[in-house]
Amino acid sequence: MRGFNLLLMLGGLLSVSVMVIVTPLSLSGQLAFGVGSVIFGAFLNRRIKSSWVSYALIVISVLTTVRYLFWRVTETLPLGAGFSWLDRVMAAGLLGAELYALAILVLGYFQIIAPRRRKPLKLPDDPGLWPTVDVFIPTYNEPLSVVRPTVLAALKMDWPEDKIKVYVLDDGRRDEFAAFCAEVGAEHVIRSDNKHAKAGNINAALKNTRGELIAIFDCDHIPTRSFLQLTVGTMVDDPKVSLVQTPHHFFSPDPFERNLDLFRKAPNEGELFYGLLQDGNDYWGATFFCGSCALLRRTALEQVGGIAIETVTEDAHTSLKMHSRGWKSAYINIPQAAGLATESLSAHIGQRIRWARGMAQIFRRDNPMLMRGLKLGQRLCYTNAMLHFFYGIPRLIFLTSPLAYLLLDAKVIAGNGLMIAAFALPHLFMATMTNSRIQGPYRHSFWAEVYETVLAVFIIIPTTLALINPKLGSFNVTAKGGVIDRDYFDADIAKPYLFLFGMSILGMLVGLWRMLRPEAEVETLLLNMGWTVYNLIILGAALRVASESQQRREQVRIETQVPALLRMRGADDDAVVEVGETSDLSLGGTAFTNLGLLDLQRGDEVEIALLPERRMLWLPATVRRLDDDGVALQFHDLNIEEQSFLVYVIFGRADAWLNWRNRENRDRPLKALAEVASFGLEGGRIFVRTLIQSLVSFVRFRTT
C-alpha cells in the first residue's frame, strides 16, 4: 500500500509538471505565470533556510526552463515559407545552445543535490597497523626553487619513518635535483625517456616501488604535515576505496584574481568545483582523481594498468577506469596542500585547453553513459564534467545570436519580443536565484559567463578535434613560478574579445538606426539590444582580465599571523628581544609587527624566531623597510634545516589553510552583476584605447 501511494504521488507530480510545461497561455497569462513563479521563488529563498527550499527552487527552475524550451520548439522556430536558410541555420544553432544549457543546468542540479561533506576517519591506535606510503612528486621542467618546498614538506608529514618514502620523479633528469634529494633524504627517480608525460612518469615509478598507498603531489603543491593523518583512515576503514581526493588550494592569485584585484575577496574559478561539486560527486560515488593532493591504492591502480595514458587528463580517466571496476572513491573537503596558480592569462588558457581536450578525449574513448560497470549517478556526474568543456560553441552562439538579428535581420527566434521576454526571463531569473542559493559561497552570479567567455574561443578547436580523433594534439606542461615584470594588455589573447566587442557595438548602432524606421519591430529590437548590452558587459570584463598586472616577487607573500621574536644578529640570550607576530610570510622574507623596543635601521642584520608551536629556530635576515606598521625583513640564504623549518611554518602546519576560505562573502546577484558591469565598463575603455592606438598606428604606417 505504501509503495502504491508513493507511485500515486509521483504520478500526480509528473502530471502537474507536464501541465505546467505544455499549457499554452496568452501574453498576459504567461507574464502572470512568470512573475508569480519568480515572486514565489524569491519568497521561499529569502524567508526559509531549509534544504527543502533549495529542492523546491530546483523544481521551479527546471519547470520554467523546460516550459520555455517547449515553447521555443513548438512556437518559435522559423520553419515556414517566409523564412530564409540563414534564419533556419541561426535558429538551429541557438536552439542547440539552449538545449545544451538545459542539459548542463539539470545535470548540475543533480550533481549537487546532496553534498556528502565526508569527515576524516580515525586511524588504528597501533601505528604498526598503518599502511606503507610512497609519496610521488613528478617534475619535468620546473625550477628547483618551486620543487624544493614540496619535497621538504613531504619529508615532514606525520607518518612513521619506516612506513613512508618520498620520491622525486624527475623527467628533466637534472643533476642539481639528484644532489638535493641526496642531501635531504628523498629518492631521485629518472627514466630513459619521457613517454606519456606525467602519466608515464608515475607508471614507471610504480614498477619500482612497493608502498601500499601512493600519495601524489604536483611539484608545486606543498602538503601539510597532517595530510596522511586525515586521508589514510578512509582507506584503512574500507579496502574498496581506491582514491581519497582533497582540494587543490592555491596560495597565489590566478590571473582573474590578480588582474581584477579579487584575491580572497570573491570565490575563484576553481572554488565551485573543489568547494561543492566534488562533495556532490562524493554523494554519488563519483569523486574523481584531480592529479594531485590525492591518495591512491596501489592494487586499484595496478588492476587498471596504472595511470591512464590514452588521454591528456590522465587523472579523471584513471578514476573512471577504477570506478568501472567497482572501486570506490572519497572526497575530504579540507585543504591539506597548497600550490601556485597560473601566473598569466595565456598560461591559464593553455592549462584549460588541455583539460578541455582531455575531457573530450575521454568522452570519445570511454563514454561514461556507455561504459560498463558504472552506477547511474557516476555516469551522470562524469558526463556533466565532460560536457561542461563543450561550452565553447554554445557560448559563442549566445554572444552572437542577437547580432544575427541586429546586423543581418536573421529571425533567430520567430516570435514577438514581449512574448520571448515573458518566457525567457522567468527561466533566467529562477536559474540565477537557485544557483545563487546553492552555489553562493563558492561562485558568485554572472562570473561563470566571464570565465567561459574568456576561454570559449580557445577550446572550440581542441574539443572538436578530440571528438573526431582523440589522438590529435600533444601534452603541454603548465608553467609555474614565473613573474610578470610590468603591467600590459595581452592583445594577442584578447583579439577574439576585441572583435566581438566591436561587432556588438556595431550591432547596437545598427539597432538604434533600425529603431528610427517606420516598419521597426520595436519590442524585438529592444530585446536584442538589451541582450547585446549584457554581452558587452561580459566581453568588457573579459577584456579587463586580459590586462595583466605586474607581479615582481618570485616568492608569494602569504597573510599568516605567527608569533615571533626579533633580536639583533649575534646577540646572546640576555639581549633585548622584541615580541610580536608576522603579518605575512614568504620563503624570501616576512613582515613583523609590534615593533618598538629595538632601535632598527634599514640594512641592519637581525634574527627572527617563528613560533607556530613554540619551536625555537633563529633565522638570519636583513631589515629592508621600516614603517608605522612594523618592519619588513628579507631572509638570508638559509641552510636545509632552516629552509625546512620555514616551509613548515608557512605551508606545513595542520591548520595552515583552515581559515583561508571566506564563506561569509555570500553571493548577492545584483551586487555581483554591478561588480561584473564595472569591470565591463573598464573593458570598454580598454577597447576604445586599443581602437585609437590601432588607428594611429595605421595612419602612421600609411603616411610613411
- Which residues are marked as active site? 171, 315
CA count, 13 A, side-chain hemisphere, 455: 28
Which residues contact residue 556 at a Cβ distance below 8 angstroms, ignoring those fewer than 6 apart?
A: 251, 252, 340, 586
CA–CA separation, 17 and 11 (whole Å): 10
Residue 70 cell numbers, joined = 517547449
In this structure, which amino acid lies at residue 96? G
CA count, 13 A, side-chain hemisphere, 433: 27
Closest to 94 measured CA to CA, from 329, 402, 509: 402
Which residues contact residue 458 at a Cβ distance below 8 angstroms, ignoring those fewer than 6 apart?
A: 349, 352, 353, 392, 496
Torsions phi, psi for 563 (to 5 deg): -55, 145
Residue 204 cell numbers, joined = 614507471
Contact of 330 with 287, CB cutoff 8 Å: yes
CA–CA separation, 169 and 180 (whole Å): 13
CA–CA separation, 338 and 221 (whole Å): 5
In this structure, which amino acid lies at residue 393? I
Strand spans (E) along 140-263? 164-170, 187-189, 213-216, 222-223, 241-245, 249-250
The DSSP call for residue 343 is S
Residue 463 cell numbers, joined = 574539443
- 627 vs 42, 547, 577, 602, 620, CA distance in Å? 50, 31, 19, 10, 20
Closest to 343 measured CA to CA, from 164, 446, 438, 484: 484
Q: What is the DSSP string of 375-438?
A: -HHHHHHHHHHHHGGG-HHHHHHHHHHHHHHHHH---SS-S-HHHHHHHHHHHHHHHHHHHHHH
Which residues contact residue 61 at a Cβ distance below 8 angstroms, ignoring those fewer than 6 apart?
A: 41, 105, 109, 427, 430, 431, 433, 434
Give the per-residue SS3 of 243-273: EEECCCEECCCCHHHHHCCCCCCCCCCCHHH
CA–CA separation, 228 and 226 (whole Å): 6
Residue 108 cell numbers, joined = 548540475
Torsions phi, psi for 619 (to 5 deg): -110, 130
Which residues contact residue 430 at a Cβ distance below 8 angstroms, ignoring those fewer than 6 apart?
A: 37, 38, 41, 57, 60, 61, 64, 65
Closest to 432 measured CA to CA, from 411, 456, 448, 417: 448
